[in-house]
Chains A and B, each alone.
Chain A
Amino acid sequence: MNVMKLFSLENKVAVVTGGAGKYGACIAEGLAEAGAKVVIASRNLDNCREKAQEFKSAGLDAVAGRVDIADENSLIQLRETIKKEHGGTDILINNAVARPGGDDMSDTEMWAKAMRINAVGLYTCTRVFAEEMEDRNAGNIVNISSMYGMVAQYPPMYEGTGLAPSKTGIYAFHKAGMINFTRFLAATYAPANIRVNCISPGGFHGKEGTHSEKFLENYNRRVPLGRMAYEDDIKGAVVYLASEASAYVTGHNLVVDGGYTIW
């Protein structure tokens, strides 16, 4: 097959959970640019609609969908709506993540809330969509983890930034779990012709001014390529894993961190 066809997502329907968020929107944009119809899904339908409209204005194929990862019924509803209106879900990007916090919550409450979304929700979302993929004997799932699922945070990075390192390790726990859950899913769903892979990005640069000068200085020193991830940095990885270009790749964790974890 011609290599551009290998990477093409024409006629594919891709659901991106948390698709209106900072990484989610980049992922959705990349998939749409490769030809997919993307369903931008999150709890906040207005945000999803706004993002979908923005993509449509740019000539991309995008729709909005409301979903609460913690609610199985809402997941089934999204799946069925997509099935009815667009024929079914070919690609699921598990990108949504909860990082609960706030002065009104104890650490235990934060853990419990995160478990409901990042663990139980991840499982339920995957199972709901994989059921349909199993019926069609085809599917592709990409989980968005983090380099902090592979290595621990580096507390000195926060010195002089006014920020504090995590006290709970909730994110580290869920992202590490996601990486091996990917391998489990890959082995489990391989007979149903469903590939499951993972991407572990480094810290996201975001818009200018998102991070303080001091934090960037501390962070960039830890990175062989000397910078945080830009908006386009995740697109190629997600398109590769979502497309036929990776037809023999399953259970892999693709790290997009500028080398943060290799030294």
Chain B
Amino acid sequence: MMFDLTDKTALVCGGAGHLGLPVSMKLAEQGANVVIADCNEEAARQGREKVSSEIPEPQTSWYKMDVADEASIVDTVGEVAGQFGGIDIMVNLAAAATPKTVEEFEPEDFGKTLNVNIAGFFTLARESAGYMEGGGSIILYSSMYGRVAPDPRIYEPPMKPNPIDYGVGKAGIDQMVRYLAVHWAPENIRVNGICPGPFPNVNKPAYKKDPGMQAFIKRLEDKVPMGRVGGREETAGAVVFFASEEASFITGQVLAIDGGWTCW
């Protein structure tokens, strides 16, 4: 069967989130054991419960893990590998941002957020690769804002444009994908990226009730050739693809799932 992940173990960091939960579900549907790691303990536990209640077949587990904390990453990855006898797939959907304009931004702010967006991604990838005996697939979440700058006109005050530490971190992820892909190619560990476009969580009460947020979504939609924002399940197929043998010759690539945002 194409795209089969039976007997594989997938660690999904941020696997209970808006984009992360559908990823965890689809990996499990394909037969992978799924471990949800999240800094929000309650979210991780509930996400795991949702996956295991809908897809009882593969094993599931959850861990509280803080991507900003090296020790937390090292401990969690070690425990996951111990529990499942190794790791085959690691997906990292984490991100951090300081909601400030360029004028408000303090240089020190980079310390905190890039500790997640860059250092945390690196540590989690390296620790996971250490348990990928015989090969594996690492999938890092980048963003369209790692490739193109936010158009300030979309963000009417009091909104602020998507902040700089988010975008530079995600641009860094694109290059981290290429660098690590080359570094681990001899071990047959593939490293690829997902570059989502606009995926606002439209089910949040803040979006549903606030006419300002509705107008914001309309402005996002106007920037997309396909004329709509992305649905939360629409990145999961790419993760399954990259994780599977069907992508066995693909490494160092970042796949844009953005309705065409970056193509015109």
**Cα A229 to Cα B260 with chains together (Å):** 28
- A219 within 8 Å of B (CB atoms): no
- B66 within 8 Å of A (CB atoms): no
Which residue among B3, B238, B249 has the maximum number of chain A CB atoms within 10 Å of its CB? B249
- A247 within 8 Å of B (CB atoms): yes
Closest to A224 in B: B185
**Cα A2 to Cα B252 with chains together (Å):** 28
Chain A residues near B182 (CB-CB < 8 A):
224, 259, 262-263
- A255 within 8 Å of B (CB atoms): yes
Do B249 and A256 have beta carbons less than 8 Å apart?
yes
- A191 within 8 Å of B (CB atoms): yes
Chain B residues near A232 (CB-CB < 8 A):
246, 248
Given A3-B3, A3-B237, A224-B185, are A248 and B258 also a contact pair (CB < 8 Å)?
yes
Do A248 and B181 have beta carbons less than 8 Å apart?
no
Contact with B255, one of A244, A252, A259 (Cβ below 8 angstroms): A252
- A6 within 8 Å of B (CB atoms): yes
Interfacial residues of chain B within 202-239, with CB under 8 A of chain A in the complex: 225-227, 230-231, 233-234, 236-238
Given A186-B263, A187-B260, A251-B260, are A239 and B2 also a contact pair (CB < 8 Å)?
yes
**Cα A233 to Cα B190 with chains together (Å):** 14
Closest to B198 in A: A248
Contact with A3, one of B30, B181, B185 (Cβ below 8 angstroms): B30
Given A225-B249, A233-B249, are A248 and B259 also a contact pair (CB < 8 Å)?
yes
Do A240 and B238 have beta carbons less than 8 Å apart?
yes
Do B246 and A190 have beta carbons less than 8 Å apart?
no
Chain A residues near B256 (CB-CB < 8 A):
249, 251-252
**Cα A225 to Cα B251 with chains together (Å):** 8
Chain A residues near B226 (CB-CB < 8 A):
190, 195, 248, 250
Do B252 and A262 have beta carbons less than 8 Å apart?
yes
Do A190 and B225 have beta carbons less than 8 Å apart?
yes
Given A3-B26, A224-B185, A236-B2, are A249 and B257 also a contact pair (CB < 8 Å)?
yes
Chain B residues near A258 (CB-CB < 8 A):
185, 249-251
Interface residue count on the A side (C-beta < 8 Å)? 47
Which residue among A34, A233, A250, A254 has the maximum number of chain B CB atoms within 10 Å of its CB? A250
**Cα A232 to Cα B249 with chains together (Å):** 9
**Cα A209 to Cα B178 with chains together (Å):** 31
Min CB distance A143 to B, Å, is 13
Min CB distance B264 to A, Å, is 4
Do B263 and A233 have beta carbons less than 8 Å apart?
no
Contact with B2, one of A7, A262, A263 (Cβ below 8 angstroms): A7
Given A240-B241, A246-B238, are A259 and B246 also a contact pair (CB < 8 Å)?
no
Chain A residues near B237 (CB-CB < 8 A):
3, 6-7, 240, 243-247
**Cα A257 to Cα B197 with chains together (Å):** 24
Chain A residues near B244 (CB-CB < 8 A):
236
Min CB distance A31 to B, Å, is 11
- B29 within 8 Å of A (CB atoms): yes
Contact with B241, one of A226, A245, A251 (Cβ below 8 angstroms): A245
- B173 within 8 Å of A (CB atoms): no
Do A249 and B255 have beta carbons less than 8 Å apart?
yes
28 A-B pairs (CB sep. < 8 Å): A3-B30, A3-B237, A4-B29, A4-B30, A7-B237, A182-B263, A183-B263, A186-B225, A186-B260, A190-B227, A190-B260, A224-B252, A227-B249, A230-B249, A236-B3, A239-B246, A240-B238, A245-B238, A246-B237, A248-B230, A249-B256, A251-B256, A258-B185, A258-B251, A259-B251, A259-B252, A262-B178, A263-B178
Which 3 residue pairs across A and B have the least CB separation, nearest first?
Answer: A236-B246, A251-B263, A245-B237
Q: Interface on A for B, CB 8 Å cutoff?
A: 1-4, 6-7, 33-34, 182-183, 186-187, 190-191, 195, 202, 224-227, 229-230, 232-233, 235-237, 239-240, 243-252, 254-259, 262-263
